[in-house]
Amino acid sequence: MCDTLVALSNSTKNGAVIFGKNSDREKDEPHVVIRVKGEKHEKGKRVKCTYIEIPQANETYDCILFKPSCIWGAEMGVNEYGVVIGNEAVFTKENQGKESLLGMDILRLALERSKTAIEALKNIVCFIKNYGQGGKCGYKKDLRYHNSYIIADFKSAYKIETADRLWAIKKIEDFDSISNSLSITDDYDMLSSDLGDTFEYKNIIGREKYNFKDKHENKIIARIAKGDLRRNITYSFLNQKKGKITVEDFKNILRHHEGEGSIFNGSMKNICMHQKSIVSSETTGSMIVELINGEINIWATGSSLPCLSTYKPLWFVESDSFFYEKDLDRAVDYWKKQRERIKEVEIGKIDKAEFIKNRDDLERRLVQISKEAKTDDEKIEIMKFAWS
């Protein structure tokens, strides 16, 4: 279970586009931060995704991906052009297809091939049309689902929600959030039935509409997943802060626990989710992206439980702090090391209050020196300090 949210420049304090996402997966599944450099490819080359191969693009772009270690694709990420995408599992009445592209594969492919949010939207639509969605998405559990996405760039944001090969698109005007339930009702701009030979985003008006959520959502599973409830929490938070939203606000909401004692109960109402009791998910990684004045500022935990983790800065610079796909084992080891330290806090081996105080002090320092960084060399040194 996950939560994704975005605030456009008209809703933030400094005029940035701010995007955030928690990735909620199985507790012991490593969630790694991987950089995939841009590359030009030979004609006829194919790319192996999680289950299937598809034709490779002539050129792919530099991406920073946040992904389950066992999956080719990613839960969230950003590319060198400032296109940022997060996906959510949604549970629909439509049958699960055979092994094809996972929603996470589609996300990565769109990031690798898109210079704008609209281009990413077009790519997602084309992948769904041509290949569909299907296959086991879980780590140990045989979890299968369809997907919804928020896609943003420096100027705009969109959400697309799917039920197998069916989809609905809505342009985001101020801010929005999604969770593990469909959120588009009859307020969509465009449907899969509007697709011609090629994709062109358009807001089609003056027609009879139906309720996409009511028609396609599996209401029993959606109710168990508590997606509507968590989306209401994140959406209400953004609405209350509209016009004043900051990166710090995004950190706060991604660390949010709903109700006293919910950390220990593992409530599905939590945005920062802890795997306890019957809850089968835990926040294994968290990411925030700030797009402002041509700059891409990334804050990521690289570890579980944002309430006990530090948001550390990343930029598109040539730094040894990055893990690449060839470094997957090292990336997994990094995540596991962070998880073990968090476990020591959870079981009381490390004093929690002191740990959080030290974490907050470090985070404030990282924010300050990141604001002061002017050159790539300065950013490289900050990343080395933060991620060591």
Residues designated catalytic: 2
From CA 70, how far away is CA 42, in angstroms rounded? 27
Closest CA to 281 of 271, 291, 290: 271
Contact predicate 265/276, CB 8 Å: yes
Specify which residues 312 forms β-bridges with: 300
Contact predicate 51/71, CB 8 Å: no
Reported for 350-359, long-range contacts at CB under 8 A and 24+ positions apart, including other chains, are 352/308, 355/308, 356/308, 359/308, 359/309, 359/310
From CA 15, how far away is CA 25, in angstroms rounded? 32
How far from 167 is each of 90, 106, 348, CA to CA, in Å?
12, 14, 47
Contact predicate 226/269, CB 8 Å: yes
Residue 146 has phi, psi (to 5 degrees) of: -95, -175
A 10 A CB-CB count for 295 gives 12
How far from 80 is each of 89, 170, 250, CA to CA, in Å?
26, 25, 22
Contact predicate 251/311, CB 8 Å: yes
Specify which residues 47 forms β-bridges with: 54
